[in-house]
Amino acid sequence: MLLPRPVATLHVGTGWVRAVLLACTVAAGVAQAQPSVTLAGVLGQKALLVISGQAPRALAAGESAEGVRVLRVERDQATISIDGQQQVLRLGHAPVAIGPGITRASGVGSKVILAGDTRGHFVTAGSINGRPVQFMVDTGASVVAIGKPDADRLGLKTDNAPTVQVNTANGQAQAWLVKLDSIRLGDMELLNVDAAITPAAMPHVLLGNSVLNRLHMTRTADRLVLERKAP
The per-residue pLDDT for range 73-92, each reduced to its tens digit, is 887 788 899 888 888 886 44
pLDDT above 90 (res 211): yes
pLDDT above 60 (res 174): yes
Q: Are residues 85 and 144 in the same domain?
A: no
The average confidence (pLDDT) of the chain is 74
Cα–Cα distance measured from residue 147 to residue 105, given in angstroms and rounded to the nearest whole number: 26
Residue 214 sits in a domain whose CATH number is 2.40.70.10
Higher pLDDT, 187 or 68: 68
| Structural domain includes residue 101 | no
Which region among 40-44, 57-61, 76-80, 84-88 has the lowest average model confidence (pLDDT)?
40-44
| Structural domain includes residue 78 | yes
Q: Are residues 73 and 117 in the same domain?
A: no
Q: Are residues 120 and 82 in the same domain?
A: no
Q: Are residues 63 and 157 in the same domain?
A: no
Q: Are residues 129 and 60 in the same domain?
A: no
Task: Decide: helix, strand or coil at residue 153.
Answer: helix
Q: Which residues of 169-198 are buried (b: 16+ CB within 10 A; e: fewer)?
A: eeeeeebbbbebeebbbbbbebeebbbbbb
> Angle at CA 94, nearest 5°, toward 208 and 40?
100
Average pLDDT (174-198) is 90
| Structural domain includes residue 19 | no
Q: Are residues 124 and 208 in the same domain?
A: yes
Q: Are residues 194 and 119 in the same domain?
A: yes
Q: What confidence category does residue 70 fall into, taking pLDDT thresholds of 50, 70 and 90?
A: very high
Average pLDDT (22-49) is 57
pLDDT of 56: 63
pLDDT above 80 (res 199): yes
Number of domains in the chain: 2
pLDDT of 23: 32
Cα–Cα distance measured from residue 199 to residue 149, given in angstroms and rounded to the nearest whole number: 8
Rama region for 53: left / alpha / beta (φ>0; ψ in -120 to 50; rest): left
pLDDT above 70 (res 45): yes
Average pLDDT (120-140) is 88
Q: Are residues 174 and 207 in the same domain?
A: yes
Residue 58 belongs to domain spanning: 37-89
| Structural domain includes residue 180 | yes
Cα–Cα distance measured from residue 77 to residue 23, given in angstroms and rounded to the nearest whole number: 9
pLDDT of 18: 30
Give every CB contact of residue 77 below 8 A, 6+ residues apart in sequence.
Answer: 22, 24, 39, 88, 89, 90, 91
